[in-house]
Structure 1
């Protein structure tokens, strides 16, 4: 839902801006994508050092870069299948780097489970595409990357002013919510894929 909102309301304006100034924005979209990964490194360091305000800044910059690289590619008419693949791979690296910061902050189990859930949720859709035909649409599931980012930023912001809630670590609570959201999302994707496979099998049996 949040992803669709960004795609439909914000990205078209950014793309149009880039298209109006082609001489200013000549940088390769793939290079811009890589910058998002570079920005995740100081974000993870800030998390590990419990400098959550700085972490929010670096994560916000990384997320902004991730938002605009596709817009730049469309404005330059340089969209490609490799560009889409590269963007997805860098996104996974960014996710893993960020949660590594929590690992060094002492949240070993939570960070591990959140990373596993994030990777599985992200892997489910492309793996489904290898099994059945799917379309570029929002799935009826939770745990999209934008949702995870919103939860991450909200947790860091709250932790910077309220380290504990009812005696429970705010960061730990945020990570456990991420664990639940991503693993539930992964299960939802499995069930959705199962239904799609059954639908295609039923069509094949009827022909």
Structure 2
């Protein structure tokens, strides 16, 4: 859903992206490292720090692609690296939230499986030749939910708010999984 806003956001980012001379793959790896720091902040019980670092990581996740497009350095490997780093970043962040005691490990693992399944189904569908970017909870939505949970939880009840955020990711994640399976089934029937 938030990916529909990407073109408007890209117009804001493109002027900055044109001034960045770092290779986009380096920006991708920096974003992954920032996600590791976010996970560490969550693991240490620092919701505000974790949330702010997710924001910074999200910036790198958006700017790397814009730099690649603006500097004519877009590549298949860059897309592969970006997607791979996103999966690791998702895992690190959720594991940090679990380790920090903000959510029961069971719900955290279900959220992690939902996040990985949403991404896997899209990748697998694309191997079969179909576009599969449907669903109500892609990566941007999941990070937005965690970010909101971190900021609201910082000022209220951290465990309750983060548990609700993770439960929301679980529910929306598995709805997205079902949406993508159904979409893929319909599309593959027609091939």
Q: TM-score range by the shorter chain?
A: over 0.9
Aligned residue for 1:143, secondary structure, equals coil
Distance in 1, Cα, partners of 2:17 & 2:38: 27
Matching of residue 146 in structure 1 with residue 140 in structure 2 = yes
Counting only pairs closer than 5 Å after superposition, residues 1-207 of structure 1 correspond to structure 2 as 1-5=1-5, 7-19=6-18, 21=19, 25-106=20-101, 107-131=104-128, 133-135=129-131, 138-139=133-134, 141-163=135-157, 169-200=160-191
Distance in 2, Cα, partners of 1:149 & 1:94: 10
Runs of 5+ consecutive residues of structure 2 not aligned to the other structure: none
Q: Deviations over 1:149-186 (max 9, x none)?
A: 1111111111111116xxx8111111111111111111
1:29–1:70 contact (8 Å) kept in structure 2: yes
Distance in 2, Cα, partners of 1:8 & 1:26: 22
| TM-score, normalization by structure 1 | 0.86
CA RMSD after TM alignment = 1.6
Q: Deviations over 1:110-161 (max 9, x none)?
A: 1111100000001111101122x324x742x111111111111111111111
Q: Bigger radius of gyration, 1 or 2? A: 1
For 1:204, the equivalent position in structure 2 comes to none
Runs of 5+ consecutive residues of structure 1 not aligned to the other structure: 201-207
Name the count of aligned residue pairs.
Answer: 189
